[in-house]
A and B are shown apart, each in its own frame.
Chain A
Amino acid sequence: TQLLEQSPQFLSIQEGENLTVYCNSSSVFSSLQWYRQEPGEGPVLLVTVVTGGEVKKLKRLTFQFGDARKDSSLHITAAQPGDTGLYLCAGPNTGNQFYFGTGTSLTVIP
């Protein structure tokens, strides 16, 4: 059961470009997390957003939680090859099961 839909599924851009990844659901989440996963590794937490409308910045990455807490976005400014990876949003349902989104595979070309 994929409660969290991400778009786009694949993204290939040139170094220096900006991009936005979206995470959408029909359900309300008490919090959402964003993870990045590199090949052969497990996902690693980037950020947790809790409050509707919340914006968090992590260097060139900006995360926003929707006002209704049903969606979130990740914006990367001036992408670098090191940003390449699989980006995953994730959150708990009412039963505290932790579900991941469908994933966005980002490739930044030098």
Chain B
Amino acid sequence: EAGVVQSPRYKIIEKKQPVAFWCNPISGHNTLYWYRQNLGQGPELLIRYENEEAVDDSQLPKDRFSAERLKGVDSTLKIQPAELGDSAVYLCASRLTSPGELFFGEGSRLTVL
């Protein structure tokens, strides 16, 4: 069975440019999370989806970040415009049950120059 798939793995952009990350969760996992992680630190929650509904996006910087999960499967996270401080790894995770194991993708590493 395929795990959580994320793309791109790496992205380098100049500040003020837009960027988008894509996540395909494990089949049948209704819960999907986006996290941001800086080097050597724990992941910080950005948003959680239950099916296609964003049940808590209080941690998402809404002035420049947006996310969607159409049809309750794939999800995209967008940043526009990107700032230097957005450089980080963006992790997507999915879960079947609560409480249960979170399955993570390999992450998308963003570098903003």
- Using CB atoms, name the residue of chain B closest to A48: B99
Known contacts A95-B56, A97-B48, A99-B45; decide if A31 and B99 are in contact (CB<8 Å). yes
Interface size (B, Cβ < 8 Å)?
24
Chain B interface secondary structure, helix, strand, loop or mixed? loop
| 9-residue interface stretch from B12-20, B35-43, B69-77 | B35-43
Interface size (A, Cβ < 8 Å)?
32
Known contacts A97-B56, A98-B33; decide if A103 and B40 are in contact (CB<8 Å). yes
Q: Contact between A30 and B40 (Cβ–Cβ < 8 Å)?
A: no
Chain A residues with Cβ below 8 Å from B44 are 2, 100
| 9-residue interface stretch from A38-46, A56-64, A72-80 | A38-46
Which chain B residues (52-80) contact chain A, with CB distance < 8 Å?
56, 59
Q: Is there a chain B Cβ closer than 8 Å to A7's Cβ? A: no
- Closest Cβ of chain B to A63, distance in Å, is 15
- Closest Cβ of chain B to A11, distance in Å, is 12
Known contacts A43-B102, A45-B102, A92-B98; decide if A100 and B42 are in contact (CB<8 Å). yes
A-B contacts, 28 listed (Cβ < 8 Å): A2-B44, A4-B42, A6-B42, A9-B40, A33-B101, A40-B106, A41-B106, A41-B107, A42-B91, A42-B106, A42-B107, A43-B43, A43-B91, A48-B99, A50-B99, A88-B42, A88-B43, A90-B102, A95-B56, A96-B98, A98-B33, A99-B45, A100-B35, A100-B42, A100-B43, A100-B44, A102-B42, A103-B42
